[in-house]
Amino acid sequence: MTRISFIMPTFNRAHLIEESIQSVTSQMSPSDELILVDDGSDDDTPRVLERVAGEHRIIRQPNSGKAAALNRALGEAQGEHIWICDDDDLLRDGCVKLMFAAINKPKTDMVFARYTRFTEVDGEKQDMGTGYWPDLSRGSIARHVLEDSFVMQNATLAKRSAYDTVGPFDETLLRSLDYDMAVRLATQVRCRYVDFIAFEQRKHEGARGPASIRHAAGSSETVWLDYDRKIFERQRQIIPLSFYQSMFAHPDPRLRKRVALLQRACVFARHDLWDDALTDLRSAAELAPTVALGQVERDICRRAVCGKHGFPGALTDQIIERLRRMNSEGGNASDIVETILRGTLWRLRDEDRAMRKAAKSLITQIIGLSGFARLSASHLVSKIGSEGDNGITENKEIDPLIASNQPERQDHVSRDESFAGR
């Protein structure tokens, strides 16, 4: 029986893929398999694969995108576990042994670890450290994954049954398909974090994405945000509010619902879906109006504007006006708005001049220059933990969604919806 199916899709990586393959094969056991999917490369990649693949399987297909390549490989994989690897990154020595031991612990369907980034200058590797990484000591893995993308496929080992549960990769997503899959895994199966560096992510110039939407590395931020919006427009229909409620504990069901609405609003705001976020913020403000926001709720509100993409959608006239109206109502509505604005203050020290300008613009358009001065002054003297606490706590372990209870997903793939042939 095959232990691990390593899957490596590739497109025009003739100059990098050999090293990536070696980082995998050097750690494989005799019961593992490596499936290489050439997604219509038109450089020397096919010849490199023939030279270095040995007995490992090569699948060739017309250029159809990474999701189609992954679904093709998943349909033919024989392993009880799946490890998806990129064609330009490097697994670290010893990571396979550590990850395999972790996934065999009880109540575990998927494990993930950290990564580090590197670039090469004159043939020398220069470590750039890990990119965005949340504080996983607080809150559930699902909450963190919903808020931002940080789980990398190269650092993920999942049971085959986990992919059977969540379904195939979405072939309509030409970017962010790995994030979409991370969200589905984090919310539908039992995930665990393993605290070590599993792979090295190569940062290099050049085009990204499938042939149909190739874009330069410098424009990737805009592309990712656009596809993140698409992912979470669908997730609002798939993930019920009850799932967000399970992230928190409090004896009063009104407060559990309120904090769940704030958390869902935070998720959608961080993915620039401010219309949906404001709908939830408004509903939250109306629940338990005599109970002030607690520390956990304030932290959620601040995080709403702390995503890696910033908050461009909040600067539209419509959203500004809705935030102004909420702020003018007083009580918890005003408190929610001002706490969100407080979350932008750290952006005033951002190296990006446009981000500094956006933060000041958001604050002044809603509460004016005098409000900006007041908020800035209060921020300088405030201390963590000094705000009131209403007893809401955050759960670290939560039960996954039951797939059968979810609305039926629309077609995520353009051809075969199943993994038939496995």
pLDDT band at 386 (very low <50, low <70, confident <90, very high): low
User: With contact defined as beta carbons under 8 Å apart, do 138 and 217 qualify?
Assistant: no
Q: Where are the domains of the chain?
A: 4-231, 251-391
pLDDT band at 242 (very low <50, low <70, confident <90, very high): very high
First-to-last alpha carbon distance for the chain, in angstroms, is 13
Global pTM reads 0.90
- Using the CB atoms, write b or e for 46-65: b if 16+ within 10 Å: bebbeeebeebeebeeebbb
Query: What angle do helix axes 17-25 and 45-52 make, rounded to 10 degrees?
Result: 30
How far apart are alpha carbons 311 and 266 in whole angstroms?
Answer: 11
pLDDT number for residue 381 = 56
pLDDT number for residue 211 = 56
Chain mean position to CA 384: 27
- Express as a percent the part of the chain with pLDDT over 90: 81
- Dihedral sign computed on CA atoms, order 154, 155, 161, 162: negative
Give CA separation, 15 vs 128, 224, 250, in Å. Answer: 21, 25, 55
User: With contact defined as beta carbons under 8 Å apart, do 165 and 188 qualify?
Assistant: yes
Query: Cβ contacts of residue 246 below 8 Å, gap of 6+?
Result: 395, 398, 399
pLDDT band at 342 (very low <50, low <70, confident <90, very high): very high
> Residue 218: pLDDT above 50?
no
Instruction: Tell me the CATH class for 4-231.
Output: alpha beta
* DSSP tag of 122: T
For residue 284 the two structure tokens come to 């939250």
